[in-house]
Chain A
Amino acid sequence: DQQVKQNSPSLSVQEGRISILNCDYTNSMFDYFLWYKKYPAEGPTFLISISSIKDKNEDGRFTVFLNKSAKHLSLHIVPSQPGDSAVYFCAATLKAAGNKLTFGGGTRVLVKP
């Protein structure tokens, strides 16, 4: 049972344009969502997060939007830079059930110069 899904395995975008990554979840009890970025042969690094009591969180070029009724979140990167080329994972957690993160399958982003 895949509780967190990233339906787009890859995304190609021109440098300077906006990258939009999508993530859907099925468990309405999730109360905290995170985005991680991963380069090849490295561990995931934390990017940005959002609590279920909010619908938007912004940090520099990165903005995460949460639509609880649709069980959908998205990550916007603007403007996209070549160094943003990586695999992006969304993750969700349920505070009452402990600390484990449930990850989506990832979206590979390629930013073309």
Chain B
Amino acid sequence: NAGVMQNPRHLVRRRGQEARLRCSPMKGHSHVYWYRQLPEEGLKFMVYLQKENIIDESGMPKERFSAEFPKEGPSILRIQQVVRGDSAAYFCASSRAQVGPNTGELFFGEGSRLTVL
């Protein structure tokens, strides 16, 4: 399977615990994006990373959320001290290059569904 791989698919955490979501981009893709979908809403941009660099984190909450895309290994979205409002589907996407005409589009993973009890 050469698609965007996310794990875990489902994660249950109690309030105050930490959640770690992992994303392996498609082969050959060096651009990774994280989006969040709250129930009954559209996808909201969180962060855009390239290897070892955060390019745009304008959609990330200022506290408790962090993301990385190390030189080796998957991208990680980390949520510390989770609260019930963090319950959502978190989608990772990757692209070969900047999205735009003739340069391809984002390919999404199947998402990680976080439930905070």
Which A residues are within 8 Å of any B CB, using their own CB?
4, 6, 31-32, 34, 36, 41-46, 49, 51, 53, 89, 93, 95, 98-106
Contact = CB atoms under 8 A, between A and B. Distances in A.
B56 A100 contact: yes
Interface in B67-100: 91, 93, 95, 98-100
B99 A99 contact: yes
B48 A99 contact: yes
Contacts of A41: 110-111
Contact of B43 (A6, A49, A103): A103
Contacts of B110: 41-43
A47 B62 CA distance: 33
Contacts of B43: 44, 89, 101, 103
Contacts of B42: 4, 6, 89, 103-106
B106 A46 contact: yes
Interface of B: 4, 31, 33, 35, 41-45, 48, 55-56, 58-59, 91, 93, 95, 98-101, 105-111
Contact of A43 (B4, B45, B98, B99): B4
Nearest to B47: A100
A103 B44 contact: yes
Given A32-B99, A41-B111, A103-B35, 13 more contacts: A42-B110, A44-B91, A45-B108, A49-B105, A53-B101, A95-B99, A100-B33, A100-B45, A101-B35, A101-B45, A101-B106, A102-B45, A103-B43
B48 A100 contact: yes
Contacts of A44: 43, 91, 108
A43 B91 contact: yes
Query: For A34, A98, A105, which residue has the most chain B Cβ atoms within 10 angstroms?
Result: A98
B107 A46 contact: yes
A93 B56 CA distance: 14
A47 B63 CA distance: 35
Contacts of A36: 108
A72 to B, nearest CB: 17
Contacts of A93: 99-100
Contacts of B93: 43
